[in-house]
Structure 1
Amino acid sequence: MILMVKFIHAADLHLDSPFIGLKNLPDYIWSAIYLSTFSALTKIVDRAIQNNVDFVCLVGDIYDNDERSVKAQAYLRNEMERLNKFNIPVYLLHGNHDYIENTGLHLDMPENVILFDETVETKWLKTKENEQIALTGFSYDKRWVLERKITNYPERNPRATYHIGMLHGFSEGLESEHGHYAPFTMAELRSKKYDYWALGHIHKRQHLAENPPIVYPGNTQGRSSKESGDKGFELVTITESGVTTEFCSTAVIQWKTIELSVKEMKNLDTVYKALKTAIEEQQNESYSLFLSIRLTDNEHLLDGVIKKIKQGELVEALQQIPKTDTFVWVHKIELQTVAENHIPAIQKLFPNEWTKILHEIEMENLFNETTNTLFDFPGIDDVVETREEQYRKKIVLDAKEMVRNQLGFERSDDLED
């Protein structure tokens, strides 16, 4: 007989979480936002029932904060009850956002929901085919868990058909803007000899290793422009011959940034029509989209057009859209900075120094050292952008543009006249 177990690995649901950076939205879009994190949970449960999985792993930050709204708790309870009717157990631990506190304000979950407490512990499951599954994990009991909880995880239990580690924490050496909570190394995970590591905390989907699989599934619904792309969970199958994973989408709203060249364009009407065409190309029936558009090759735009873009008039015009089941909402239009052409005097006076400082400030270590104090503030990662390479480069471009503005230079094509 083939030994096989199938389960769902999801994390960072952030039920009832607000979206960041949006304002002045139509009511139907606000409604879609409000329901999006809940809809993602429903999709997880639907897929678990459809695939008749042996169990579900929810690896931390089920709620967006420790106060956890009654609506969010009731919604989770109802969805867990759906799974209970199909005898599907759920192994759930709490993370840094929904750490265990004020238990007198918590709704009890159905009997199929098995909660981990603040000490590392191993739960056991006997599947329908009599496989013995060991699941090891812990829940946060405070906002910041900085100790190396991984040291308390036992090695693979010899009685287990398969042993799964559940850990809401930070992989050391990983470039991420998220807090460095419950840190661990890849070597530490591998030393436990588990069959699969179900991770949570990092919102970007990542397969850190394949043997054994060490997986961040990402969050189930992006909530700001820094959480772009498709979001979902992993459908995992373990057999004697190995582990297979399938990514399953849950996000009803996605965030995306595109670039649009406006080369040789000058007038407002030409730019407006090009934007409308680009937006129509993004429309689809599977999900809605919050779209940011970056206009490149914009050197020939009339000053009046640039002014209307910077003042937000063009965004407001493109936000006049009909109510549809899925929508494309443009929330930002920005101009590619062309600071290299804007500050010729500095480049001519100090060419070597200018090149050197631009290279240095884009480097990860220096950038992080400069911004560490800011990012240490609780909850700051939900407000500001990431510190990844693309964002570092964007900040440098913006800084060069600010220098140009402070020094009062005009556009380079004007200076050449």
Structure 2
Amino acid sequence: MVGVKLLHLADVHLDTPFQVRTKDMRMFLRQAIRQAFQKAVDLAISKNVHAVLIAGDLFDNQTLSFSTEKFMVEQMKRLYEAQIPVFYAPGNHDPAGVMYRRSLIEWSDNVKVFNTKQPETCPVYDREGRLVAWVTGAGHEGPREKDNIIKDFPRAGDADIPHIGLAHVWVTGARGEGEHDRYAPCTLEDIIDKCYTYWALGHIHTRVHLAEKPLVIYPGNLVGRHHGEEGLKGAYLVEIDEPGRVKAEFYPVAPVRWATFKVNNLSQARTLAELQEHIYKAVVNQLENEKQSGGMHDVIARVLLEGPCLLYSQLRLQEIGCTHEENIQVLEEYLYNALGFRYVEVVPDGLTRPVVPASYRGQPHVLGVALDILQEAKTDPQVLLKLKPDILAGCPAMDTGDVIAYLHELLEGLDYEVTARLMEEMV
């Protein structure tokens, strides 16, 4: 057989409405999706693929602009000039019904849109006119497709020709399924039963290999849209040498990625300079551990500050003549300049007051009494057992010695937790 090379992408979401704080960032992200798609087209042309597979949600139908429509038509014409066909199976955000604007776009002749949920099979030819693959696809006819569209896909026929499945579906049990609507639901067994060589799926925005034989892939969305869609984003270059022998390589094409960094152990930072240095080092260490490609200028960063901090009041509470928002902005500007991120948001919600439980023991108030009881429980097993509830979560049937040992584990750090919580309630 003749080998076949394909580019698989999904969930581009052109013109998606971004929910970020600044208009400039929204415009940047809108343009970033176009750049990513153009880079995917560049990849398809440079790799001389036999076809491009788009597994739905190419754009958000309700927000589709004229400029995006023009951009998309231009990119499809580039593929047409390179003699690369495009197979496109609409999803729930870009359904194929005549009432939706997407259905009115005038595509170039190389674009095949699967406009109904009834599957259709199309041939893929190489430049010499030889048949190299079959593509069977089906699209959503409305924004809330409830039927299992995979069940009507035909079983693969000629074993010498690779058969490709293309659809925007919700596969039961797929990683990330709970974060997406249950449209066009199916099972992995439904997919495997068709005996196809490769399945190009869309809908789940997480990159997932659902099965290896046949290879069933969600490529994830082309560009992350918020901090729930972090990491590198892109498309898959799929090469099939013979039926059952498939290679799929991920290519990151998104010009930006979202990343969250958690920073704790701030209890020793007494000044702004010390705080900045600690956050900087913590973020850099996490970046090195991730070992992700791309420069830091491509990162939209969220920095979560957590745990006890001596500067709690300056970062969490309103101060006379100054607000904590202004102090947070100082940190964001520092990290933006020091690390070269595209955008930085510092979130101090996880910070707590710095507390020293020992300084409150023996005092004539509720906190002092609570800490005294905890201290006594650490040294007196009888007191510890009196504090034990009748039903102890996570503790199977044990003898008394085992129960006491388990309770001592639960006491670890509890004095600090009690102090911190009661201090919060007294503010």
TM-score (normalised: structure 1): 0.76
Query: Residues 409 and 52 (structure 1 numbering): CA distance in 2 closer, same or farther, change over 3 Å?
Result: same
Distance 2:390 2:107 in 1: 62
- Per-residue Cα deviation, 1:36-62 (whole angstroms, up to 9, x for no partner): 110110011000011000010001000
Quick one: structure 1 residues 131 and 272, their matched pair in 2 at CA, closer, same or farther if it must change by over 3 Å? same
Q: CA deviation at 1:297?
A: 3.9
**Partners of 1:311 and 1:90 in 2: CA distance:** 52
SS class of match (1:57): strand
Q: Which amino acid aligns with 2:238?
A: V
- How has the CA–CA distance of structure 1 residues 311 and 159 changed in structure 2, closer, same or farther, with 3 Å as cutoff? same
Question: Which of 210, 219, 233 in structure 2 is aligned with 1:208?
Answer: 210
- AA partner of residue 109 (structure 1): W
- Determine whether 1:35 maps to 2:49: no
| Structure 2 residue matching 1:78: 3-state secondary structure | helix
Gaps of 5+ in 2: 289-293, 358-365, 375-385, 395-417
- Cα drift, residue 266 of structure 1: 4.0
Q: Indicate conservation of the 8 Å contact 2:61/2:93, yes or no.
A: yes
CA distance in structure 2 between the aligned counterparts of 1:259 and 1:9, rounded to whole angstroms = 34
User: Residues 302 and 115 (structure 1 numbering): CA distance in 2 closer, same or farther, change over 3 Å?
Assistant: closer
Q: Write out aligned runs for 1:356-367 (5 A).
A: 356=393
CA contact under 8 A between 2:301 and 2:341: conserved in structure 1?
no
Q: What does 1:102-121 align with in structure 2 at a 5 Å threshold?
A: 102=99, 106-118=104-116, 119-121=118-120
Aligned residues: 363
Q: How far apart, CA to CA, are the structure 2 residues paired with 1:181 and 1:409?
A: 47
Distance 1:287 1:87, change over 3 A: farther
SS at match of 1:189: helix
Q: Does 1:409 align with 2:422?
A: yes
1:319 to 1:65, Cα distance in 2 relative to 1, 3 A? farther
> What residue in structure 1 maps to residue 341 of structure 2?
327
* Equivalent residue, structure 1, for 2:2: 3
Give, as a single letter, the amino acid of the residue that structure 2 aligns with 1:126: Y
C-alpha deviation, 1:176, in angstroms:
2.4
Q: Which whole-Å deviations, capped at 9, do the CAs of 1:266-313 have from their partners, x for residues lacking one?
A: 434121333345567769637521111122342544433443799433
Q: CA deviation at 1:328?
A: 3.3
Candidates 96, 99, 107, aligned match of 1:100: 96
Match of 1:253 among 256, 275, 281: 256
For residues 73 and 392 of structure 2, the distance between their equivalents in structure 1, rounded to whole angstroms, comes to: 57
Match of 1:46, SS state, is helix
- CA distance 1:232–1:352, change in 2 (3 Å): farther
User: Would the aligned equivalents of 2:263 and 2:303 in 1 still touch at CA under 8 Å?
Assistant: yes
Aligned to 2:135: 135
Cα deviation for residue 83 of structure 1 reads: 0.7
Q: What's the counterpart of residue 158 of structure 1?
A: 158
Q: Which residue of structure 2 lines up, in the alignment, with residue 317 of structure 1?
A: 330
Q: 1:238 aligns with which of 237, 240, 248?
A: 240
Contact 1:10 1:59 in 2 (8 A): yes
State how far apart, in whole Å, the 2-side matches of 1:278 and 1:328 are: 18
Q: For 2:313, which of 303, 306, 327 is the aligned residue?
A: 303
C-alpha distance in structure 2 between counterparts of 1:69 and 1:312, whole Å: 35
- Mapped partners of 1:273, 1:247: distance in 2: 36
CA distance in 2, matches of 1:336, 1:237: 47
Any idea what the Cα deviations from partners look like across 1:297-340, whole Å, max 9, x if unmatched? 4254443344379943343223437899x73311232343679x
CA contact (8 A) 1:9 1:198 kept: yes
* Cα 1:204/1:187, change in 2 over 3 Å: same
Asked if structure 1 preserves the Cα contact closer than 8 Å seen for 2:169 and 2:201, the reply is yes
1:285 to 295, 309, 318: 295
**Aligned letter for 1:81?**
K
Whether the aligned pair in 2 keeps the contact of 1:252 and 1:288 (CA below 8 Å) is yes
Larger Rg: 2
Instruction: Determine if contact 2:261/2:283 at 8 Å carries over to the other structure.
Output: no
- Indicate how the Cα distance of structure 1 residues 408 and 228 shifts in structure 2: closer, same or farther if over 3 A, else same: closer
Alpha-carbon distance, 1:263 to partner: 3.8
Q: C-alpha separation between the residues in 1 aligned to 2:327 and 2:2?
A: 59
Which residue pairs with 1:271 in the alignment? 275
SS of the residue corresponding to residue 304 of structure 1 reads helix
Report if aligned partners of 2:50, 2:125 keep a CA contact under 8 Å in 1.
no
Q: Is the 8 A contact 2:230 2:257 kept in 1?
A: yes
Aligned position for 1:372? none
Q: Alignment partner for residue 294 of structure 1, among 304, 329, 335?
A: 304
**Aligned 8 A contact 1:56 1:91 in 2:** yes
Greater shift, 274-283 or 221-230, is seen at 274-283
CA, structure 1 residues 411+68, in 2 after alignment: closer, same or farther (shift >3 Å)? closer
Taking only the aligned residue pairs, the percentage that are identical comes to 28
Q: Measure how far apart 1:68 and its partner are.
A: 2.3
| CA displacement 1:142-197 (0-9 Å, x = unmatched) | 11111111111110022761100011011112342101111111111111000001
- Provide the residue aligned with 1:226 in structure 2: 228
- The one-letter amino acid of 1:15's match is L
Alpha-carbon distance in structure 1 between the residues aligned to 2:230 and 2:281 = 22
RMSD over aligned Cα, in angstroms?
3.7
Q: Deviations over 1:345-386 (max 9, x none)?
A: 7x98986599759xxxxxxxxxxxxxxxxxxxxxxxxxxxxx
Query: Would you say the 8 A contact 2:5–2:240 is kept in 1?
Result: yes
- Mapped partners of 2:423, 2:85: distance in 1: 65
